[in-house]
Amino acid sequence: MSLYQKFADSVGRFLDKHPNSVRLTLTAVAASALTASSILTWQANQRKSRAKTLKDELKEAELGKTIDLTPVGTVNPSGQPHILPPPTIFDDRLIEEQLSKNTAFLGQKGAEKVRDAFVIVVGAGGVGSWAALMLMRSGVKRIRIIDFDQVTLSSLNRHAVATLEDVGTPKVRCIKTHFKQIAPFVQVEDCIDLLNADNVDMLLSGNPDYVIDAIDNINTKIDLIKYCHDKKLPVISSMGAGAKADPSRIQIADISETFEDPLARTVRQRLKKLGILNGVPVAYSTEKPHHVKLLPLEEEKIEDRDEFSALPDFRARILPVLGTIPSMFGMAIATFILLKLADYADFDPLPAKLRDGLYARVHKELLNREIKTFNANKRVCALDVQDVAYIFEEMWHGKSAISGPNDKLALTRWDKSKPLDYFNTVCLTRQEADVHDSLPENVDLEEHYGNKVYQQVLDHFEREKSIQKTWNQVL
């Protein structure tokens, strides 16, 4: 008997003895095969469907059409725009949760004072938009933002909330729209207007707890500060953030304690003529940029420069701005206001004074040199202590023009035939200054000190002339 026949007989005998078991086994196998076949068929159909959908999407993209996606990233089959549900109306519980970190920091009473506050922001650019943003995020109940300008493409490097879609729209309208998406419980008033004598009473009405001056134009800035001073409205003013780059030099101080900042100096001088000597806190930078230049207009636009200004009286050329610095000014101002509103304990910003005693001594010695060598009036000096501080630190970096670093330094005239001013005051050691003062008036300084030292001194003066010329154009 062959092997095949033996196997067939064995199978036959097994089927005769176990007919029920065989039927169940065959049934299970058949069911499994049917299930597997169904699953594979369904998966194949799904793959085909996804492939068709992808091809349709790619085809639609090639035609330049917008593909509307649902919130989970799939194509909207209806073709109709997906409309998000309306925002939840915030109740007190949700507001408290959103502001919980501020409350933990400021305390319950302090946070409530912030919540009840009304702040007006004049100027919605790089500084004002950031100040308003942080006040809004901190829960200030009512914010009025005043600005006449529109969002430009070049302002996107520093604006707090503006997007490409906002270009060409009023800044205040843009801010109000975006703020609503962050804190709908904050009342934001958008005023598209330029503050002036005719509308200042209306624009600053409502007894605000604070007014923020974030205006670029110096005349309007002075008018606003003067109005707030006369009406006893608390105001904090932003000085110049343009052309600044060093975040470590940003300070908040009374206008009377500012130094280095050209805009702060001009504001201080003009307020002094109006009888305002102090009482105006400002955000400013002690940095004096050494590479300042105005952004030029193209040659074909120079004759029609007024057409390229926002308003006829405003500058058509502006200082370059590093986008991060205005935001720091704005957040510093917002922080100052929040802590003042909350009566935060022991909050009293310290003005940066660097080395006051040193500057006073150097100034006194300079006055004595002027009296001794040039018979100057002992009560009058062309340079005050702040001028001495600037010349000593910014122009000469606390070093002798001849021998470098030294702890016994003095200031004196460089060219004895010329008056004492920024462009004729040199830093030397006391001994070097004594020798220099004893030189004949007609001495050849280049021959006496050598070309290297002589040229370095002249380069310092020329650089300072260039800086002051540029700032004079700006201001």
Vertex 63, ends 62 and 65: CA angle to 5°?
A: 105
When mean pLDDT is compared across 9-13, 61-65, 433-437, 442-446, the lowest value belongs to 61-65
Q: Are 386 and 265 members of one domain? A: no
Domain count, the chain: 3
Residue-wise pLDDT for 239-254, tens only, equals 988 888 999 889 999 9
Structural domain containing residue 53: 3-62
Residues 18, 166, single domain; the answer is: no
Q: Which of 309, 341, 373 is the last residue of a domain?
A: 341
**Same domain, yes or no: 362 and 334:** no
Measure the N-to-C terminal CA separation of the chain; round to a whole number of Å: 119
pTM of the complete model: 0.63
Contact present, 210 and 234 (Cβ < 8 Å): yes
- Asked if residue 121 belongs to a domain, the reply is yes
The answer on 101 and 30 residing in a single domain is no
Q: Are residues 336 and 369 in the same domain?
A: no
Whether 153 maps to a domain, the answer reads yes
Name the residue with higher pLDDT: 13 or 91: 91
Whether residue 141 sits in one domain with residue 34: no
225 and 280 fall within a common domain: yes
Residue 221 pLDDT > 60, yes or no? yes
Same domain, 412 and 312: no
Does the pLDDT of residue 453 top 90, yes or no?
Answer: yes
Query: Structure tokens of 117?
Result: 């506050």
Structural contact between residues 377 and 416, judged by C-beta atoms closer than 8 angstroms: no
Verify that 254 and 229 share a domain, yes or no. yes
Same domain, 20 and 58: yes
Q: Under a CB-based contact definition with an 8 Å cutoff, are residues 174 and 161 in contact?
A: yes
Examine the fold and report which residue of 341, 365, 395 is the final residue of a domain before the chain moves on: 341
85 domain-assigned: no
144 and 276 together in one domain: yes
Angle at 255 between CA 252 and CA 258, to 5 degrees: 70
What is the full DSSP assignment across 243-287?
T---GGGEEEEEGGG--S-HHHHHHHHHHHHTT--S--EEEEE--
pLDDT (tens digit per residue) in 389-416: 889 988 888 899 999 888 789 999 999 9
Q: Are residues 128 and 215 in the same domain?
A: yes
Residue 79 lies in a domain: no
pLDDT tens digits, 28-48: 555 565 666 666 666 667 666
Contact 235, 224 (CB under 8 A): yes
Q: Is residue 72 part of a domain?
A: no
